[in-house]
Every structure is written in structure tokens, then in C-alpha cells.
């Protein structure tokens, strides 16, 4: 059996350097964010940019649409790139755009970023009213076409409702357990349980604001956390979603948090004194360091099959089952 290495979420400042580091780290596939607050037309421009990169670096990356593309990438020494949105902004207020965007290559869409959206409530809101009427309809359409519901930045009630409303498994592509590291973006046990009991996936993040001890988090602490989560919820529902934002300028953090919804600076879970990107932990600076996580997980007592699942095989299975249109 092939053991795949898959990252459930990155938002790097893409370049030939990073594409080469993906290959050095033997990363077979990544889910990349191509929209935070962009509308439909602006998102199409981001698809265009990726098409240019696929043309420029055909020996390093290929467009990922189906799980079989990961196998092709592995066999040819490349990385398959899958697209997703961290906000439903690309569908604007038009449910018909769900299918159009899936046709263009989108495979994940968060129902919210940090704020309330037309579909659900974000994790920074004080009042979580759950999935909206439009949200229920959009989930149904996403299920139909094969666009995965991602609740990484959503509030608790909204996430639990999404997991129960969705006829197909949903994902939290990049977050950690709240119990291990209390942060607005991390997930409480009842939220993780709702997602995993419905067949969904949780991808563990190495973004420092979501780590215990932040940038000083140790590899041992991170891997033990994963092992304990596997005991609770089953290793088959777990993966890695690093949330790596490599080489991004601090202005991009501002764009993530602020978008076009406020004139003020929103520092999120960072501090006003250090509004930019926090330093990554020493054991995961870039894609070349995926092997450190695998080595660390093997020391926790997880079996080799469980570790292989978390490092990528579970995502591969999830992609295979959930990217295709629903059978009629």
C-alpha cells in the first residue's frame, strides 16, 4: 500500500522555491487557499494564476481534482494542488455558483471565516445562531456536486449543525483541540465528536497561535496531542492541515482578518504589539520538515498504519469519497 503525505491546508506565498521544498519534503498533495474575501470574478483570477504556475512548473506541481491525481503526482515525482476557499465569498449570494466553482476545480469551501456569513456563524462572533436557511441549501448543493464543507473558522453550534445537516462527511481542515490549547479557532470535544462521528476529518494545525506554548510548542507536545485525540475519536479521522503561510508579508495577515468588512485593524488571536505572522516552531519551518511530524508520531505509540493514515492516507481516502458528484 502506498503511504501518501498530504497537507490539508496551506496559504503560502507561492514560488518555485516553495514548490521545490514540497518535493524535498515528499509532499504528494496539498489543499491551498485561493480565496479569503474575493468575490467570484476575483477568485477566477486566482484560478488563472495557478494555471500559469502549472504551465511554468510542470515538473513540480499538477492541478488536483480527484484522488487519482495524487497517485499520478506520486508516480511522477510531483505535488497535486487542490483548491479551496476560507470563506463563501466566491459564491456571493448565488447558489448556482457552487457547481460552477466545483467545475473550475474548487474542492473545499468554509461556510464562514471568522465572522457571520450568509451561511453560518464564525468563531469570533459572540452569538452563534447556527446554520442559516441559505446555509442549509448550500450544504445540500455542496453535497451534490462534491464540494467539501469546511468548518475550520466556524463557531461551535454552526459546526455541529453542519456536520449533522450534511449528507456527506465534512472537514475541519486546520485546527487543534481547544482542551490542549484554548483559542477561539480551536475545537471543543463535542465539536470534534460531531464531525468525526459523521465520518469527517480533523486536520491538525502548526500555526503558532493555535499551538500550546505558541511558537515554543515542542514536537513532543504536538504529537502527544495528536495521539490523545486519536484515542478519543479514532486515528482514521485525523490528518495534518498545517495552515502554513510561508513567505507571506504581514499585510497578508491583515487581509485575512480585515478583508473589506472593517476600517479598523483586527488582530485576531495575535497581539497588537505583534500583528504579523508569528515565528514557526523550530521543528516545522517549511515543507521539508514533514518527516519530523512522522518521526514524532511514531514515538507516541501510534501504530505505523495509524501514523501513515494521519500523514496522508486518511486525507487520500476522504478525497476519493467526497470530491466526486453524488450518485443519483
Instruction: Give the tens place of pLDDT for each residue, 100-122.
Output: 999 999 999 999 999 999 999 99
Q: Is residue 2 predicted with pLDDT exceeding 90?
A: no
Q: Is residue 236 part of a domain?
A: yes
Sign of CA dihedral 250, 12, 296, 189: positive
Q: What is the pLDDT of residue 273?
A: 42
Q: What is the pLDDT of residue 121?
A: 98
Q: Is residue 328 predicted with pLDDT exceeding 70?
A: no
Q: Is residue 57 part of a domain?
A: yes
CA-CA distance, 178 to 90, in Å (whole number)? 29
Residue 150's CATH number: 3.20.20.140
Parallel, antiparallel or unpaired: strands 79-85 and 29-35: parallel
Confidence of residue 256 (pLDDT cuts 50, 70, 90): confident
Q: Is residue 328 part of a domain?
A: no
Domain count, the chain: 1
Lowest mean pLDDT among 113-127, 139-153, 238-252, 267-281: 267-281
pLDDT tens for each residue of 220-242:
999 999 999 999 999 999 999 99
CA distances from 100 to 50, 63, 105, 216 (A): 17, 17, 9, 43
pLDDT tens for each residue of 262-318:
888 776 654 444 567 889 999 999 999 999 999 999 999 999 999 999 999 999 999
Within 150-274, residue ranges assigned H as helices are: 156-165, 189-197, 219-233, 250-258
Overall average pLDDT of the 126-149 stretch: 98
Q: Is residue 140 predicted with pLDDT exceeding 60?
A: yes
Confidence of residue 322 (pLDDT cuts 50, 70, 90): very high
Q: What is the pLDDT of residue 71?
A: 98
- Give the domain extent around 267: 6-322
Q: What is the pLDDT of residue 272?
A: 43
Q: What is the pLDDT of residue 253?
A: 81
Q: Is residue 140 part of a domain?
A: yes
Confidence of residue 60 (pLDDT cuts 50, 70, 90): very high
Q: Is residue 1 part of a domain?
A: no
Lowest mean pLDDT among 103-112, 163-172, 253-262: 253-262
Q: Is residue 288 part of a domain?
A: yes
Sign of CA dihedral 135, 137, 138, 142: positive
Q: What is the pLDDT of residue 277?
A: 82
Overall average pLDDT of the 164-171 stretch: 98
Q: Say if CB 284 and CB 246 are below 8 A apart.
A: no
List own/partner pairs for 132-137 with CB under 8 A and 24 or more apart. Answer: 134/93, 134/95, 135/111, 135/162, 136/165, 137/95
Q: Is residue 327 part of a domain?
A: no
Q: Is residue 119 part of a domain?
A: yes
Q: What is the pLDDT of residue 215?
A: 96
Overall average pLDDT of the 204-233 stretch: 97
Q: What is the pLDDT of residue 48?
A: 98
Amino acid at each position: 500500500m502506498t503511504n501518501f503525505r498530504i497537507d490539508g491546508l496551506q496559504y503560502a506565498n507561492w514560488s518555485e522555491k516553495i514548490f521545490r521544498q514540497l518535493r524535498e519534503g515528499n509532499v504528494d498533495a496539498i489543499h491551498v487557499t485561493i480565496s479569503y474575501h474575493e468575490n467570484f470574478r476575483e477568485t477566477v483570477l486566482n484560478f488563472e494564476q495557478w494555471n500559469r504556475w502549472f504551465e511554468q512548473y510542470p515538473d513540480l506541481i499538477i492541478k488536483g481534482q480527484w484522488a487519482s491525481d495524487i497517485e499520478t503526482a506520486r508516480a511522477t515525482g510531483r505535488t497535486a494542488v487542490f483548491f479551496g476557499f476560507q470563506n463563501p465569498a466566491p459564491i456571493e449570494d448565488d447558489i448556482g455558483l457552487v457547481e460552477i466553482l466545483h467545475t473550475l476545480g474548487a474542492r473545499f469551501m468554509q461556510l464562514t471565516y471568522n465572522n457571520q456569513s450568509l451561511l453560518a456563524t464564525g468563531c469570533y462572533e459572540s452569538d452563534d445562531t447556527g446554520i442559516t436557511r441559505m446555509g442549509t441549501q448550500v450544504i445540500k448543493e455542496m453535497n451534490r456536486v462534491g464540494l467539501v464543507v469546511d468548518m475550520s473558522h466556524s463557531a461551535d453550534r454552526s459546526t455541529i449543525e453542519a456536520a449533522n445537516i450534511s449528507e456527506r462527511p465534512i472537514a475541519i481542515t486546520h485546527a487543534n483541540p481547544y482542551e490542549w490549547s484554548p483559542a477561539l479557532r480551536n475545537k471543543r470535544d463535542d465539536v470534534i465528536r460531531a464531525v468525526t462521528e459523521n465520518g469527517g476529518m480533523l486536520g491538525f494545525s502548526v500555526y503558532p497561535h493555535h499551538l500550546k506554548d505558541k511558537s515554543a510548542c515542542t514536537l513532543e507536545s504536538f504529537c502527544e496531542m495528536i495521539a490523545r485525540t486519536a484515542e478519543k475519536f479514532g486515528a482514521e479521522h485525523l490528518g495534518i492541515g498545517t495552515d502554513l503561510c510561508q513567505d507571506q508579508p504581514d499585510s497578508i495577515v491583515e487581509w485575512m482578518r480585515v478583508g473589506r468588512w472593517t476600517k479598523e485593524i483586527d488582530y485576531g488571536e495575535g497581539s497588537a504589539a505583534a500583528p504579523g505572522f508569528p515565528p514557526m516552531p523550530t521543528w516545522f519551518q517549511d515543507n521539508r520538515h514533514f518527516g519530523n511530524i512522522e518521526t514524532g508520531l511514531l514515538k507516541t505509540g501510534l501504530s505505523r498504519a495509524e501514523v501513515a493514515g494521519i500523514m496522508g492516507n486518511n486525507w487520500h481516502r476522504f478525497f476519493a469519497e467526497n470530491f466526486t458528484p453524488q450518485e443519483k
